[in-house]
Chain A
Amino acid sequence: MLETSANGPFVTGKVRLEHAVGMHARPAVKLTKLAKRFQAQISIRASETADWINAKSVAKVMALRAPRHSMIEIKAHGEDAEAAVAALVDLVATDFPDVGP
């Protein structure tokens, strides 16, 4: 269901979106907030033919409108790229759990 690989200067990951309503507002906010914790440049797309978008832009992530069962691709480069991809893949794979206070 998910894979992470080092591909040139990019770390990439893939994960299937299981959230019942797809990438709507709350999942988009959680994904963006998590992405912002990393220094790496992070891009995501919801299909192989789509343009990559900046995972740290909440407006763009919300506008993905990725439906349930979409394959979300994540790529990152930068010092903490590996940790960033792992964390984002985990967030999607665990269905965007509530965290923190």
Chain B
Amino acid sequence: MSDMVGIVIVSHSNDIAKGTADMVRQMVGGEVKVAFCGGDPDGGLGTNVGGIMDAINDAWSPKGVAILVDLGGAETNSEMAVEMLEPERRGLVVVCNAPIVEGAVMAATEAAGGSSLEQVRAVAEELSAG
């Protein structure tokens, strides 16, 4: 549905990215768009900017997209992917400072209620605020 913030999961591992996306779909339901990107094109560990941009497009919503990442390069490549979007879409994508699995489930739960991108991000980041 287009009136809910979309969720993108970026991990170095395709298994983790896919597993996290499965968890979100099973726990929260199918109404929130969830896309994932994990591993390098050869099947090893890694992240790539092109794959992240594809995932952002898959999860795209006019309300925006929240990205959940695991480590290092997942974050920097996600930020790079955001910068490479058209200027008018850049402001509608945020990388959340949150644990990837818990953050994705909480963000999707918040998104399912029709919340704004800022609210979705705040809920995901509540976890890190401890």
A58 touches B29 (CB 8 A): no
**Interface size range of chain A in the complex:** 10 to 19
Give the size of the chain B interface in residues (CB under 8 angstroms).
16
Give chain B nearest CB distance to A87 CB in angstroms. 14
A29 touches B113 (CB 8 A): no
Give chain A nearest CB distance to B35 CB in angstroms. 18
A101 touches B113 (CB 8 A): no
B113 touches A100 (CB 8 A): no
Give complex CA distance A36, B110 in Å. 9
Q: Which of B27, B31, B112 contacts A25 (CB 8 A)?
A: B27
A59 touches B106 (CB 8 A): yes
Q: Which A32-49 residues have C-beta < 8 A from chain B? A: 32-33, 36-37
Q: For the complex, would chain B's binding face be called helix, strand, loop or mixed by DSSP majority?
A: helix
Bitwise, A40-70 to B at CB < 8 A (1) or not (0) is: 0000000000000000111100000000000
Inter-chain contacts of B28 with A (CB < 8 A): 29, 33
Q: Which B72-130 residues have C-beta < 8 A from chain A? A: 105-106, 109-110, 112-115, 123, 126-127
Known pairs A29-B27, A36-B114; list 9 more (Cβ under 8 Å). Answer: A33-B109, A36-B113, A58-B106, A58-B123, A59-B106, A59-B126, A59-B127, A100-B30, A101-B31
- Using a CB–CB cutoff of 8 Å, the interface residues on chain A facing chain B are 25-26, 29, 32-33, 36-37, 56-59, 100-101
Q: Sort A-B residue pairs by CB-CB distance and give the 8 closest, nearest first.
A: A36-B113, A58-B109, A59-B126, A29-B109, A58-B106, A29-B27, A101-B30, A26-B27
